[in-house]
Amino acid sequence: MLAYAEKPTERMPHIAFIAEGFDPSRPVPVRIHSECMTGDVFGSRRCDCGEQLDASLHIAAKHGGVVIYLRQEGRGIGLINKLKAYNLQDLGLNTAEANTHLGFDVDARQYDAAIFILQDLGIKEVELITNNPAKVEALRRSPVKVAGRIPLVIEPQDDSRNYLKTKQELMGHLLGL
């Protein structure tokens, strides 16, 4: 496990989990996972984030991969605003509408830190563990080559079905729902 921060005093660094058998001379299975305290830590059923993180850690462990944990909660809007967005979702807005209602982009995440981490680890080529075409595109515009994509489809729960449909229909996630 390695921590990455812009300043040594940073209290919330990005983290790279590196599995045994990691070999940067070949395409590396990589998950770029954005922090989701409600899903990753508290097991929220509103999203599939915690389940995606668990599945990614297993894939990385089995195949000598890397999971990069980016500290960009709530699609980049932060925990407080994410909780405000949850309240708006309870009133009938979907996740995209809630973010824009609060004055944010639907998805404000950036992947520059992940690209820096990949390069720092000597990774030139990845098998990206994702359903998000924006992550694939972000890496394709970088020096890191995307050799392929490993789908990460989690069976929808009753509480997460609408969220996942929104991700598929409005954000282009490759979920096959």
Q: What is the CA radius of gyration of the chain?
A: 16
Burial 98-128 (b: 16+ CB within 10 A, else e): bbeeeebeebebebebbbebbeebebbbbbb
Count of Cβ atoms closer than 10 Å to residue 60 Cβ: 23
pLDDT per residue, tens digit, the chain (177 aa), is: 999 998 888 899 999 999 999 999 999 999 999 999 999 999 888 888 899 999 999 999 999 999 999 999 888 888 999 999 999 989 999 888 898 999 998 888 899 999 999 999 999 999 999 998 889 999 999 999 999 999 988 777 777 666 667 666 666 676 766
8 Å CB contact between 158 and 149? no
User: Which tokens hold the place of 78?
Assistant: 């932060």
pLDDT at 153: 81
- 11 labelled catalytic: no
pLDDT at 170: 64
This prediction has a pTM of 0.87
Return the CATH number of the domain spanning residue range 2-72+109-171.
Answer: 3.40.50.10990
8 Å CB contact between 147 and 125? yes
| Choice among 109, 112, 158, 161 that is catalytic | 109
- 158 labelled catalytic: no
**What residues contact residue 53 under an 8 Å CB cut-off, 6+ apart?**
31, 33, 36, 39, 40, 67, 69
The residue extents of the domains of the chain are 2-72+109-171
In this structure, the chain runs to a length of: 177
User: Which tokens hold the place of 35?
Assistant: 């922090």
pLDDT at 176: 67
| Choice among 46, 105, 107, 158 that is catalytic | 107
One-letter amino acid for residue 29 of the chain: P
pLDDT at 106: 85
**What residues contact residue 56 under an 8 Å CB cut-off, 6+ apart?**
31, 33, 67, 129, 152
User: Which tokens hold the place of 103?
Assistant: 């004055």
